Amino acid sequence: MIVDNLANAANYFSMHPLFEKAFEYIKQTNLELSSTGSIDIEGKLLYASIVETKLKSADTVQIEIHKKYIDIQIPITKKETFGWKSLATLSSPDTAYNESKDIAFFSDKPTAMITIQPGEFIIFSPEDGHAPLIGEGLTKKLIIKVAVL
């Protein structure tokens, strides 16, 4: 898991060949004025979704994992809290891994919680179990999917 301010995004370009393109999309887009929906940036290798949804209490969210994609998540309208637990220590699967949706859910409880504000980002790799959407009220956020190469 990586957490930082968008102003420091260039520090992470060398970590993946598509990170620079992902952060360039963010830099060039007025996220507050963007409509919800899917955005094709580089086909199945790099795409984004802008969603508006209700935040939930920490005791109702599930940890999720992805095997094929790295998540870059950015709150647009309000702060969001994320739970985290290492994939290596997840032990209570709720669902089998769904390959077509690239997701599995676990009932384990997070071992760490982190809150980020608009203007900040969080990156989850396939080794990171994460529980997004913790907070109160409605939120708008950007989720970028970066293919594991």
* Predicted confidence (pLDDT) per residue in 99-133, tens digit: 999 999 999 999 999 999 999 999 999 999 999 99
Query: Which residues have a Cβ under 8 Å from the Cβ of 93 and sit 6 or more positions away?
Result: 104, 105, 106, 107
Looking at residue 46, its pLDDT comes to 98
Give pairs for 97-100: CB < 8 Å, separation 24+.
97/65, 97/67
Total-model pTM: 0.96
Looking at residue 107, its pLDDT comes to 96
Tell me the CA distances in angstroms from 46 to 17, 20, 57, 71, 147, one per residue in order: 11, 11, 30, 10, 6
Looking at residue 57, its pLDDT comes to 97
Q: What is the pLDDT of residues 27-80, one digit of tens each?
A: 999 999 999 999 999 999 999 999 999 999 999 999 999 999 999 999 999 999
Domain ranges for the chain, please list them. 2-147
User: And the tokens for 102?
Assistant: 């690239």
CB atoms within 10 A of CB 114: 16
Confidence of residue 86 (pLDDT cuts 50, 70, 90): very high
Mean pLDDT of 75-100: 97
User: And the tokens for 146?
Assistant: 């970066």
Looking at residue 53, its pLDDT comes to 97
Looking at residue 25, its pLDDT comes to 97
| Pairwise CA distance, residues 118 & 125, whole Å | 21
Chosen CATH of 2-147 out of 3.90.1570.10, 2.60.40.2700, 2.60.120.370, 1.40.20.10: 2.60.120.370
